[in-house]
Structures are given as structure tokens and as C-alpha cells.
Amino acid sequence: MQELSEKWVKRYPDLFDSDDVRILTTDHQRNYHFFERLSSVLLYESTGYFSLIEKYCAKSHPRKISLFSKLVPQEVFDFLMGAPSGHPDLFSFHNQTGDWFFCEVKGAKDRLTDNQIAMHAELESMTGRKVRVIQLDEMRL
């Protein structure tokens, strides 16, 4: 999975920034976020939407915060900047139309937590937009 993720970083430089590359170099994070990276590539290839992968509300990711803050209403930005956890995995947006949405990504056996369900309900109430969920299952050959 690591090798595939590294290929995606090279093939899709507009999807993965230096923060994403840095995360791939840490032992702990190397094994996480594969499904988020895969979903980002699939969304881009199938719809043209770009995705900020997690941490779009973390001060350690200034590029992501800057993009995110320009696309969402101030109320949504402030709410997520103040929320300690439960942020959807992807913030997806279309450069040409300005359309955007949040997306939660789950691997084969992952399920939404109560905290995530509450966060999604709050975001849907604030934005009038459904938080989408991508559920990816493993395929065995």
C-alpha cells in the first residue's frame, strides 16, 4: 500500500501536498489513511473534485486551512476549527464550479462512530448538505 500511495503522490501533485508526503514518511501514519488517499484519487478521476485529506482544520497544515476557509461559510469554518474530533475524512471541492462537500471514508469493517454521526448531523444542519460516506470493501482474488 505504501508503494501505491507514493505513486499517487507523484501522479496527482494537485491532490497531495507536502503535508501529505510528510505524513507518508512517518512509521505510524504510513499504515493509515490508505482508504482516504484511494477515495481522493477515485473522486478526482470520476468527478474532477479535489479532496483535502483530513487535517484540513489543523494549524500544522496551513495550505489546507487556507483553501478550506475560502470555500466554506465562516460559521462552518469556525465550528470545525473549534471541534476537537469527528471531522469528516475528506473535504472535497470542484475548482471550476465552487461546489463542495464533506465525505467520510470507511474501510472494509469500519463503521461510523457516535461522535462522527453527531458531527455529520451538525454539519448537515449548518450547511444543508449531506455528508457523504464512501464504504470500501476488500476484494479477494
For the chain, domain boundaries: 2-135
Its pTM stands at 0.86
Note the pLDDT of residue 109: 83
**Residue for grid cell 499517487:** 8
Measured CA to CA, the distance from residue 3 to residue 103 in angstroms comes to 25
* C-alpha cell at position 121: 448531523
Q: Could you read off the pLDDT of 71-126 as tens digits, one per residue?
A: 999 999 999 999 988 899 999 999 999 999 999 999 888 899 999 999 999 999 99
Residues 50 and 12: beta-carbon distance below 8 Å: no
The one-character DSSP state at 131 is P
The SS3 call for residue 104 is strand
2-135 topology per CATH: Trna Endonuclease; Chain: A, domain 1 (3.40.1350)
pLDDT confidence tier of residue 138, bands split at 50, 70 and 90: confident
Q: Could you read off the pLDDT of 1-15 as tens digits, one per residue?
A: 556 667 777 787 777
